[in-house]
Chains A and B, each alone.
Chain A
Amino acid sequence: MAEVALRNVVKRYDNVEAVRSINLDIPDNEFVVLVGPSGCGKSTTLRMIAGLEEVTAGDIYIGGDIVNDLPPKDRDIAMVFQNYALYPHMSVFENMSFGLKLRKFPKDEIKKRVDHAARILDITELLDRKPKALSGGQRQRVAMGRAIVRNPKVFLFDEPLSNLDAKLRVQMRTEIKRVHQLVKTTTVYVTHDQVEAMTLADRVVVMNGGLIEQIATPQDLYHHPRTHFVAGFIGSPAMNFIRCRLEQNGAGQRVRISETISLPVPASRAARFASVNGKELLFGLRPEHITEPRRSDRDASCEFAATLDVVEPMGMETMVYFTVDGQEVCGRVDPGSARGPGESMRLYADMDRMHLIDPQTGLVL
């Protein structure tokens, strides 16, 4: 078990900079998820930690030691791949014990460790089978077993659930979390699925264009995104962004999102937004914060009328889509109060949850 640290790590392929000087500290036993769109550099970062890619510049530390020039086998890490990468000619037992055999562990120790890992993963009865006789979920368990038996300093997961179907993915997600609670080990997990990131991580690292956008706990990331990208990437359906102008209205400020609609800025935020009065900004609000008027103590000035374009009943809630000044906006209302498409509906914006984004810098104010 060990902490992992990245210091100004850069990865360049010919003229393309895949990772642009990132810094990251992962304390012992923490479960960190790297998340971002394709090509954001998350897998490259993981592969550099694993030693499968050379570091162009900067340093990677595992357990306090620089490992830049160490081959993967000497880094004491274990990795689970997207396509499992099981050895097809070996049984499950042989797959799991291969790394230990190469490291010349005594036979009874190998057996003990494999049995222990198999029990954790509930694959004891599969030990004699070949990978081709296993289902996708079972194969992924074996791949995890292969990592667990090594008892490494760091677990690395490279999109391990991407090849599974939706139901199995949810199941294996819980499994991975359970295993991490049982086998406390520093874990770096790469995914492009933000739900996976939110549910698994102690801390999430959001990457974009080879840079780290934000490192935070899932809750913090959701409620206090630091950049436009993070605000849009985390959450499903995504946060609404509407062009707006901040107006001074007597003692208070208002966000004008269209000619007819302007919404009041909570008094607690007035000081923070004072400097951007009159500027063109982006107004961000999550769909769940645009609802039918619910609370009795609500501020009536936060209400507005909208003509619904599309209505999507989801069972527990209904998504309603409408346009504000040509921009599509999504709200999440109670199924009982939802109107049909083409009809007008009173909606309420929870302005305590609003975000203002400077479109020039992309930063949340």
Chain B
Amino acid sequence: MSTAALTVRPGRGFGASSSLRRNRRWALITSYVFLIIFAIFFLIPPYYMVVTAIKSDAEVARMATNPWIVADGFTLEQFKILFTQTDFLIFFKNTVIVTVCVVAITMVVSVLAAFSLGRMKFWGSSMLATGIFLTYLVPDTLLFIPLFQIVKAIGLLNSYWGMVLVYPTLTVPFCTWIMIGYFQSIPKELDEAALIDGAGHLQMLTKIFIPVALPGIIAAMIFAFTVSWAAFVYPMTFLYSADQQVLTVGTVTSLIRGDVYKWGMLMAGALVAAAPPLVIYAFLMDYYIAGLTAGATKG
């Protein structure tokens, strides 16, 4: 009896573990298949951009060649013309100025707002927090008409400083909302400990909350950066001279003349414009993922 039991049990055990291994392998294979499909789907447009940007105008225009490969040998001509004979660098500079200012303004306003709404309970604070989020739900395609009047009245029409003023209407509500959630997740005892240690509210914010909530703040920063870098409707409406224009609108308006599309340069411009977000994402993502709060309280 006992030997029979002994021989049966290991057999069952092996069977169970091998089917588990098989299941796991299948799960792995399926996820890789879908990941590859996903990657191909999203990498086709950038690939097309790269291929077109390194072709000569003649090859782009020739219908006979395969558009997916570079047949005549690659050239950096498109980039050279883009940088030297168009206003692209001005657009780039304007975009950088606007984005840096918008990110800075957004961070200051929304960190302070989120800290007070998330940590200092006062009458109406939760209603106010919901209200802030609701303002985010109004799309810029609706807001640009009334905002046009406001920007005009302030005298910032056709100035990129107007963008510095206008973009935060999109970024502040959402960033505040993200950070309220983040600040609220920090244990209450941490500010009580800081209070007892002798910190005032501002010290509590700068010495405890900002460092602890850094992943949340970086997430909000990435959002503000992306919104500001890629905004289209507002610059399209409020800016009309080349020296004030930003990348998104400037590239399109200066490189499409009537029905003439300078495809090579358009693609080169899009590539260069996409580089800073790519670099920022690559660097900050790790930092964003690293949970700093581990160890604050019993985990």
Q: Which residues of A contact B (CB under 8 A)?
A: 50-52, 71-73, 77-79, 81-89, 98-99, 102-103, 130-134, 136, 139, 146, 150, 163
Minimum CB distance partner of A104 in chain B: B198
B286 at the interface (CB under 8 A from A): no
Knowing A131-B296, A163-B298 are in contact, say whether A85-B197 is a contact too (CB < 8 A): no
Stretch at the interface among B36-44, B186-194, B229-237: B186-194
23 contacts between A and B (CB under 8 A): A71-B195, A73-B196, A79-B193, A83-B189, A84-B189, A85-B187, A85-B192, A86-B297, A87-B190, A87-B193, A87-B194, A87-B212, A87-B296, A88-B293, A89-B214, A89-B292, A98-B197, A130-B295, A131-B295, A131-B296, A134-B295, A139-B298, A163-B298
Knowing A83-B187, A87-B208, A87-B212 are in contact, say whether A52-B295 is a contact too (CB < 8 A): no
| Chain A proximity of B68: nearest CB distance (Å) | 49
B28 at the interface (CB under 8 A from A): no
Knowing A83-B189, A83-B298, A102-B203 are in contact, say whether A88-B196 is a contact too (CB < 8 A): no
Write out the residue numbers on chain A whose beta carbons fall within 8 Å of the beta carbon of B299.
132
The interface centre, meaning the residue of B196, B211, B299 with most chain A CB atoms within 10 A of its CB, is B196
Residue from A85, A130, A133 in contact with B193 in the complex, judged by beta carbons closer than 8 Å: A85
Write out the residue numbers on chain B whose beta carbons fall within 8 Å of the beta carbon of A52.
192, 195-196
Minimum CB distance partner of B213 in chain A: A89
| Chain A proximity of B248: nearest CB distance (Å) | 37
What are the nearest 4 A-B pairs in CB distance?
A: A132-B295, A99-B197, A85-B189, A83-B297
Minimum CB distance partner of B188 in chain A: A85
Minimum CB distance partner of B297 in chain A: A83
Write out the residue numbers on chain A whose beta carbons fall within 8 Å of the beta carbon of B4.
none
Tell me, in angstroms, the Cα distance from A99 to B192 when the chains sit together: 12
- Cβ of A103 and Cβ of B296 under 8 Å apart? no
| Chain A proximity of B8: nearest CB distance (Å) | 38
B294 at the interface (CB under 8 A from A): yes
Task: Identify whether the interface residues of B are mostly helix, strand, loop, or mixed.
Answer: helix
B199 at the interface (CB under 8 A from A): yes
- Cβ of B295 and Cβ of A102 under 8 Å apart? no
Knowing A85-B190, A88-B293 are in contact, say whether A72-B195 is a contact too (CB < 8 A): yes
- The interface on chain B, measured as residues whose beta carbon lies within 8 A of the other chain's beta carbons, has a size of 25
- Cβ of B192 and Cβ of A88 under 8 Å apart? no
Write out the residue numbers on chain B whose beta carbons fall within 8 Å of the beta carbon of A51.
195-196
Tell me, in angstroms, the Cα distance from A59 to B92 when the chains sit together: 65
| Chain B proximity of A328: nearest CB distance (Å) | 36
Contact bitstring B237-277, A, C-beta under 8 A = 1, else 0: 00000000000000000000000000000000000000000
- Cβ of A78 and Cβ of B196 under 8 Å apart? yes
Write out the residue numbers on chain B whose beta carbons fall within 8 Å of the beta carbon of A81.
189, 192-193
- Cβ of A136 and Cβ of B296 under 8 Å apart? no
Knowing A50-B196, A79-B196, A99-B198 are in contact, say whether A89-B211 is a contact too (CB < 8 A): yes
- Cβ of A85 and Cβ of B296 under 8 Å apart? yes
- Cβ of A88 and Cβ of B195 under 8 Å apart? no
7 further A-B pairs in the complex, CB-CB below 8 A; given A71-B195, A73-B199: A84-B296, A84-B297, A85-B187, A86-B296, A87-B296, A88-B292, A146-B193
Write out the residue numbers on chain B whose beta carbons fall within 8 Å of the beta carbon of A50.
192, 196
| Chain B proximity of A151: nearest CB distance (Å) | 13
- Cβ of A84 and Cβ of B196 under 8 Å apart? no
| Chain A proximity of B74: nearest CB distance (Å) | 48
- Cβ of B196 and Cβ of A72 under 8 Å apart? yes
- Cβ of A88 and Cβ of B294 under 8 Å apart? yes
Write out the residue numbers on chain B whose beta carbons fall within 8 Å of the beta carbon of A132.
294-295, 299
Write out the residue numbers on chain B whose beta carbons fall within 8 Å of the beta carbon of A99.
196-198
- Cβ of A88 and Cβ of B189 under 8 Å apart? no
Write out the residue numbers on chain B whose beta carbons fall within 8 Å of the beta carbon of A150.
197
Write out the residue numbers on chain A whose beta carbons fall within 8 Å of the beta carbon of B193.
79, 81, 85-87, 146
| Chain A proximity of B26: nearest CB distance (Å) | 36
Write out the residue numbers on chain A whose beta carbons fall within 8 Å of the beta carbon of B297.
83-86
- Name B14-71 residues within 8 Å CB distance of A: none
- Cβ of B190 and Cβ of A73 under 8 Å apart? no
Tell me, in angstroms, the Cα distance from A163 to B294 when the chains sit together: 16
Tell me, in angstroms, the Cα distance from A81 to B192 when the chains sit together: 9
- Cβ of B298 and Cβ of A73 under 8 Å apart? no
| Chain B proximity of A24: nearest CB distance (Å) | 21
- Cβ of B296 and Cβ of A88 under 8 Å apart? yes
| Chain A proximity of B208: nearest CB distance (Å) | 6
Residue from B198, B203, B214, B295 in contact with A86 in the complex, judged by beta carbons closer than 8 Å: B295
Tell me, in angstroms, the Cα distance from A163 to B297 when the chains sit together: 10
| Chain A proximity of B197: nearest CB distance (Å) | 4
Tell me, in angstroms, the Cα distance from A146 to B187 when the chains sit together: 18
Write out the residue numbers on chain B whose beta carbons fall within 8 Å of the beta carbon of A103.
198
Tell me, in angstroms, the Cα distance from A318 to B192 when the chains sit together: 46
Minimum CB distance partner of B210 in chain A: A89
| Chain B proximity of A129: nearest CB distance (Å) | 10
Tell me, in angstroms, the Cα distance from A289 to B160 when the chains sit together: 87
Tell me, in angstroms, the Cα distance from A103 to B214 when the chains sit together: 26
Knowing A85-B189, A89-B211 are in contact, say whether A136-B195 is a contact too (CB < 8 A): no
- Cβ of A77 and Cβ of B208 under 8 Å apart? no
Write out the residue numbers on chain A whose beta carbons fall within 8 Å of the beta carbon of B214.
89
Write out the residue numbers on chain B whose beta carbons fall within 8 Å of the beta carbon of A87.
190, 193-194, 208, 212, 296
Write out the residue numbers on chain B whose beta carbons fall within 8 Å of the beta carbon of A73.
195-199
Knowing A89-B211, A134-B295 are in contact, say whether A102-B199 is a contact too (CB < 8 A): yes
Minimum CB distance partner of A143 in chain B: B193
| Chain A proximity of B217: nearest CB distance (Å) | 13
Tell me, in angstroms, the Cα distance from A134 to B296 when the chains sit together: 11
The interface centre, meaning the residue of B194, B198, B297 with most chain A CB atoms within 10 A of its CB, is B198
